[in-house]
């Protein structure tokens, strides 16, 4: 067939492995569309872990392999905040914008990050180190305003804490590269 999905062969191989690993127990190769769809979120999650984000060619590759319309996969990846269709930085700063955090000043925290990192919410710094991502309720309202960087949770913050947080992640990375 003269048309091929334009994708890094290493990525293609990684996705093939993920699908193959999911196939026997989750019935991925079953013709039943519902079963395929129900495994979709796990497959997307693992693919994102492997590749970092889910660009168009990756989603098209998945659509082709899973026999699911691309529009359906894209619908899932844009519905859940978990998935990224654009490359993300090494550290994702997820600032909770739930009601409690919002009332306690989460907006000011986001604004301070935007000012210090010189990016807007949803963007990634030029050095690829930080992505600033306001998110839905993290379920830790007692710690409001709360945010996560990677797997770490930081609570009861004020805009004054922002420089320290950035430094904490910025300095080790800088140390690695020098």
Partner 1 sequence: MEKSVTNDTDTDTVLVTIDGQETRVPVTFTVLEAARQAGIMIPTLCYLKGINQIGSCRICLVEIENMRGLHPACIHPVNEGMAVKTNTPFIRETRKTILELILSDHPQKCLSCQRNDSCELQALTKQLGLETHPDGDTLPFAGETSDFTLDLASPAIERLADKCIKCRRCVSVCKNIQQIGALGVNERGFNSVIAPAFGRSLDEVECITCGQCINVCPVGALREKDEIANVWQAIADPRKHVVIQVAPSVRATLGEEFGLAPGTPVGKFIPAALRRLGVDKVFDTSFAADLTVMEEGHEFIDRLQNGGNLPMITSCSPGWVKYCEHHYPEFISHLSTAKSPQQMFGALAKTYYAETNGIDPNTIYSVSVMPCTAKKFERQRSDHIYFSETDGDRFDVDAVLTVRELARMIKQAGIDFLRLPEQPFDAPMGMGSKAGVNFGATGGVMEAALRTIYETTSGQSADPIEFLSLRGLEGVREAHVDIPGLGGVDVAVVHGIGNARQLLEKIKSGEADYQFIEIMACPGGCIGGGGQPLVSGPQRMSSDEDYRTMRVHALFAESQDLPLHKSHDNPDIKRIYEQYLEHPLSEKSHHLLHTHYQERPQYAAQKWIPGLTETEDEDFIVVPPWQHEPGMGEPAQPSHPVP
- Which residues sit at the interface with partner 1, rule CB under 8 A? 1-8, 11, 51-53, 55-57, 59-61, 63-64, 68-75, 78-79, 85, 87, 128
> In this structure, what is the dihedral angle of CA atoms 8, 12, 17, 19, given to the nearest 10 degrees?
140
Q: How far is CA 43 from CA 11, 14, 35, in A?
A: 14, 11, 12
Distance CA 173, CA 169 (A): 7
* Closest CB to partner 1 among residues 63, 153: 63
Token duo for residue 22: 């999911």
Q: How far is the CB of 87 from partner 1 (least distance, A)?
A: 5
Q: How far is the CB of 72 from partner 1 (least distance, A)?
A: 6
> In this structure, what is the dihedral angle of CA atoms 55, 49, 78, 54, given to the nearest 10 degrees?
10
* Closest CB to partner 1 among residues 50, 114: 50
* Closest CB to partner 1 among residues 79, 115: 79
Q: How far is CA 153 from CA 19, 42, 93, 170, in A?
A: 32, 24, 10, 17
Q: How far is the CB of 28 from partner 1 (least distance, A)?
A: 18
Q: How far is the CB of 136 from partner 1 (least distance, A)?
A: 10
DSSP 85: S
* Closest CB to partner 1 among residues 122, 163: 122
Q: How far is CA 17 from CA 23, 43, 84, in A?
A: 10, 10, 21
Q: How far is the CB of 124 from partner 1 (least distance, A)?
A: 10
* Closest CB to partner 1 among residues 55, 159: 55
């Amino acid at each position: 067939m003269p048309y091929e999905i334009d994708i890094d062969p290493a990525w293609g191989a990684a996705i093939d492995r993920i699908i193959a690993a999911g196939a026997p127990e989750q019935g991925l190769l079953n013709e039943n569309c519902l079963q395929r769809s129900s495994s979709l979120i796990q497959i997307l999650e693992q693919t994102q872990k492997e590749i970092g984000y889910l660009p168009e060619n990756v989603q098209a590759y998945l659509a082709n392999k899973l026999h699911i319309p691309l529009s359906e996969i894209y619908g899932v990846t844009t519905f859940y905040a978990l998935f990224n269709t654009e490359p993300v930085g090494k550290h994702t700063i997820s600032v909770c914008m739930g009601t409690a955090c919002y009332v306690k000043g989460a907006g000011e925290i986001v604004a301070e990050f935007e000012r210090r990192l010189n990016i807007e919410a949803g963007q990634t710094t030029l050095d690829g180190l930080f992505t600033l991502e306001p998110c839905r309720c993290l379920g830790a309202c007692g710690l409001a305003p709360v945010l996560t960087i990677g797997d770490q949770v930081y609570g009861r913050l004020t805009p004054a804490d922002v420089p320290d947080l950035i430094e904490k992640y910025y300095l080790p990375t800088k140390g690695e590269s020098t």
